[in-house]
Amino acid sequence: MFSYPKIRPDLFCFVLWVIGSSFFSSCLTQRQVEYLQDKSSTVIYFEQPGIEVYRLQPNDDVLIQISSLDDLSSNVFAGTNAQQSPQVGAMQAYGASLVAYTVDKHGFLHLPVVGRLNVLDLSLNEVGAAVEEALQNVLNQPVVTVKLVNRYVSVLGEVQTPGHFPYAQEKLTIYDALGLAGDITHYGDRREVILTRNEGGKNSRICIDLTQSEMLSSEYYYLRPNDMVYVKPMRRRFWGLREFPYAVILSTITTGLLIYNVSR
């Protein structure tokens, strides 16, 4: 009659040790894949971080809306210098044009009638005020609104859909940017996310921990145009039930039994 071979207790313990070591050295805890961790379950308030005013740089694209009581005269600014369609549409009853202009490499905008305007390191409000002042003797009660077109952020690394994402809102948080990229994968390190930013012609590298609730009041909570977010991969992987390494465990058992039979 066939009888199953007896397995020595020491061999059985060895196989269990190999399986346990393989599994626990590769798995992650739930806290390692959570955002905004805090021991308190009550409502916690954080001071809203300040947002630095964005200042124009070379190659920035701006939309300029000019409204005036002189409908025909204001339409002059929907001329051929615009990158996009000259006449986007009337936005005021008195008439308006929405045009896109590029800041050249020397920091100048080239506008109809106004001419060459230095906008390097100026805020959007400051540019609007400068254009309004230049049009005082040209248009009747001009009103100028300037908006930044090239609001982009790059999200790379261990995210679902890495890429270069445009956004229209004035405020974009780092969590919003990760949402645009489909969130961090199970293999992304939320404790060590890298933010790169160009400030004053110098690139800076900032390490951010997204698991800390204090991130809500951090100066890096809001992103700036052209920021890049890089999510580093973890050394260990998170395995759910569907990703449980059954093949690895079975292979380990088979290898252990083979070594045992050879050594007998």
Give the structural domain span for 109.
61-148
| One domain, residues 15 and 40 | no
Q: Does residue 214 sit in helix, strand or coil?
A: helix
- Note whether 48 and 155 are same-domain residues: yes
Look at residues 109, 126, 148 and tell me which one is the last residue of a structural domain.
148
Within 8 A by CB and 6+ apart from 39, the residues are: none
Q: Spell out the long-range contacts of 89-92 with Cβ–Cβ below 8 A and sequence spacing 24 or more.
A: 91/65, 91/67, 92/67, 92/143
Using CA atoms, how far apart are residues 66 and 110, in angstroms rounded to an integer? Answer: 15
Clarify whether residues 128 and 167 are in a common domain.
Answer: no
pLDDT digit string (tens) for the chain, length 264 residues: 544 455 555 555 655 555 555 555 455 555 556 777 777 667 777 787 777 888 888 888 888 888 877 665 556 555 434 444 433 333 332 233 345 788 998 999 988 888 899 999 899 999 999 998 888 888 888 888 888 887 889 999 999 999 999 888 888 999 999 999 999 998 899 999 999 998 777 889 999 999 988 898 899 999 998 899 999 998 765 454 445 555 666 676 677 666 656 666
pTM above 0.85, yes or no: no
Residues 212, 249 share a domain: no
Residues 212, 84, single domain; the answer is no
At residue 123, what is the residue type? S
Number of domains in the chain: 3
4 part of a folded domain: no
**13-33 pLDDT, tens digit each:** 655 555 555 555 455 555 556
Query: Do 178 and 225 share a structural domain?
Result: yes
Q: What is the structure's pLDDT at 81?
A: 44
Q: Six-digit token pair at 117? A: 């305007």
